[in-house]
Structure 1
Amino acid sequence: MASPAADIGQPHQRHLLSESASEPAFLEAQKWIEAVTGRCFGDKDFRGGLENGILLCELLSSIKPSLVKKINRLPTPIAGLDNLSVFLRGCEELGLKGSQLFDPGDLQDTSTRPKAKVADCSRS
């Protein structure tokens, strides 16, 4: 087993939410979420099915019904961030530590983000 010090300064080879949805762990997690919530990811991949936070809030509601007061179902990025915040707070209420949770930005779709060009970043 590698020591934690071995990871210092090294890029992480595996990142939970950036891996391919065909990974067995993603498929297992997706099946579990669908079984517990009774809802389906549909044609969305793992990240895409969770990015608006609705399924995650429904998951918490299934686990502990009084935990989520309201799910924001508006199709906006702000609504998604609101749901993700509700989910993460609920996880902490259930006893998880912040270090065991993901950052809401991990679920954002980065494929449509503008990318800086090298020339834009150089100093004169």
Structure 2
Amino acid sequence: RVAVTNTLRLLHVPDEVREALADGLITEGHARAILTANGETRRLAVLRRVVDDHLSVRDTEALARELNGSQDESEIERDADVERLEEAFRQALGTRVKLVRARGGGGRLVVHFYSDEELQGIYETIIRGASSHPT
């Protein structure tokens, strides 16, 4: 009976979550955890983080709780901006990128690499871009 109830709950997730589940990008546990986020915007933000950062189900639950408790709509919109920027960096650099905004307008950009060769490629991409846009 509990299994049936849990499966029925998955009918209420956004289509993107259902597709990620069908494609094997997330598990049913992830989908149920995503469902605990309030509203479709937050659920989709959680889904993107789960897929991009390979979060565990427990981490997914914690992220949903964090989003539910700490953000208003303007912060959700900023999260969408951060997601777009991260994706642009991922496309440009060809690797996982994490953008963390700090209060007051600062923040940090974390670029992940998995080999010396990949680091060299990222370096060349950044330097090539910098030399084509002198200040």
Give me the TM-score of the superposition, normalised by structure 2. Answer: 0.30
Higher helix share: 2
